[in-house]
Copies of this chain bind each other. A is one copy, B any other.
C-alpha cells in the first residue's frame, strides 16, 4: 500500500458516492451525485471529475494513487459498466476511458462484490488472508473470490457469479432465466419466499413485505418464533452446500459476508457455520472462519472501491 490518498466511487442506481480515502483507510469525506440525473456517460464522467477536483482541493491533496470504481456490472478488463439494468445509461459506458481523459491519474472499475472483497482485504477483516471468498447478499447474491491475494477475474472479467450456481436442480425460477440458483434462496427475496412458504405450512401470520421484513424476522427469531428460526435454518443449509462447493473449487482460508441479509449476524451465521461443517469435504482439515465484514455499513462500498485502486494500480 503506497502512502497516497485514493478516491473510491460507489455507483448505484440512485446515488453515486465519491469518497476521499487516506492511506490508513479512513474515509475523509464523501460527496454525492444523483446517478439518475445523468443519461449521458460523458456528462456524468465530467461531473464525477469536477467533484473529485473539489474534494482534493478542499483537503489539500495534490496527487492521488488512483480512482477505484465499484459498479453493478463493472467490467475490470474493459473498464466499462456493461448494460446494468438499474443504471440510466444504455449499453456499455467506458467509464475508465472517459475519466482518464480528464483526470491526471489511473482509474479502475470492477463490480460491487469484487470491490467488497478488495475492501475487506485492504481495510477490513481479511488483511491476514490471501485466499478467501466474500459473499455480498442483498437484492442479489454476488461473490468476490480472492486467490493468492488477487481477485479472480477469469478469462473475460466476469468470474465469481456464485449467486447463479445451481443449488437445487429445477428449483425456484431465477431472474437470470435459469432455475434453482443460489440467489433464489438466499437473497432478500429468496429468504422472504422461504418465510412465506413456511408461514403457510405452519399456518402462521405472514410478516409485512416491506424494507423492514428482514429486521422483523430477526426480531421474531430472537423471540424463538419457529417459522423465523426455520427460515434461517433452511437458508443456511443451502448456503452451506454452496460454500462447501466453493471450497472444493478454490480451497479458501475464510468466508466473509456483507449485505442486508447478514445484518442479523449470528442468527444466520451460526446455522451457516453448522451446515458448512456438515457439508464440507473431509480432506479440508483447516478450520474455516465464517465472518461478517469488519467494515461499517456506511463506509464499506467507498472503501471497497478505493481498495481496488490500492490493489490494482
Given contacts A155-B253, A245-B245, contact A279 B178 (CB under 8 A): yes
**Contact, CB under 8 Å: A154 / B281:** no
> What 3 A-B pairs have minimum CB-CB distances, sorted nearest first?
A154-B251, A131-B155, A165-B245
* Residues of B contacting A169 in the complex (Cβ-Cβ under 8 angstroms): 167-168, 241
A201 touches B (CB below 8 Å):
no
Given contacts A153-B251, A165-B249, A176-B282, 4 further A-B contacts (CB under 8 A): A147-B152, A154-B250, A154-B251, A166-B245
The residue in chain B whose Cβ has the minimal distance to the Cβ of A246 is B249
**Contact, CB under 8 Å: B284 / A248:** no
A156 touches B (CB below 8 Å):
yes
A145 touches B (CB below 8 Å):
yes
**Contact, CB under 8 Å: B283 / A166:** no
Partner pick for A286 among B156, B250, B251, B281, CB 8 A cutoff: B156
How far in angstroms is the closest Cβ of chain B from A181? 9
A161 touches B (CB below 8 Å):
yes
Indicate with 1 or 0, residue by residue over A212-246, a CB within 8 angstroms of chain B CB atoms: 00000000000000000000000000000100111
**Contact, CB under 8 Å: A147 / B156:** no
**Contact, CB under 8 Å: A147 / B158:** no
**Contact, CB under 8 Å: A249 / B162:** yes
**Contact, CB under 8 Å: A286 / B245:** no
How far in angstroms is the closest Cβ of chain B from A23? 28
**What are 17 inter-chain pairs, A to B, with CB distance below 8 A?**
A131-B155, A147-B154, A154-B250, A155-B252, A155-B253, A157-B251, A158-B283, A159-B248, A159-B250, A164-B248, A165-B245, A165-B248, A166-B167, A176-B282, A178-B279, A245-B245, A249-B249
**Contact, CB under 8 Å: B250 / A283:** no
Interface residues on A, range: 35 or more
* Residues of B contacting A178 in the complex (Cβ-Cβ under 8 angstroms): 279, 281
Q: Is the interface of A mostly helix, strand, loop or mixed?
A: loop
Indicate with 1 or 0, residue by residue over A272-284, a CB within 8 angstroms of chain B CB atoms: 0000000101111
Listed in ascending order, the chain A residues whose CB lies under 8 Å from chain B are: 130-131, 145, 147, 152-162, 164-169, 176-178, 241, 244-246, 248-253, 279, 281-286
**Contact, CB under 8 Å: A281 / B250:** no
**Contact, CB under 8 Å: B131 / A164:** no
The residue in chain B whose Cβ has the minimal distance to the Cβ of A244 is B166
Q: How far is the CA of A245 from the CA of B181 in the complex (A)?
A: 10
Q: Could you say which of A160, A161, A244 has the most chain B C-beta atoms within 10 Å of its C-beta?
A: A161
* Residues of B contacting A176 in the complex (Cβ-Cβ under 8 angstroms): 281-282
Q: How far is the CA of A279 from the CA of B166 in the complex (A)?
A: 9
The residue in chain B whose Cβ has the minimal distance to the Cβ of A159 is B251
How far in angstroms is the closest Cβ of chain B from A250? 5
Q: How far is the CA of A251 from the CA of B157 in the complex (A)?
A: 8
Q: How far is the CA of A154 from the CA of B166 in the complex (A)?
A: 22
How far in angstroms is the closest Cβ of chain B from A248? 4
**Contact, CB under 8 Å: A161 / B283:** yes
**Contact, CB under 8 Å: B286 / A155:** yes
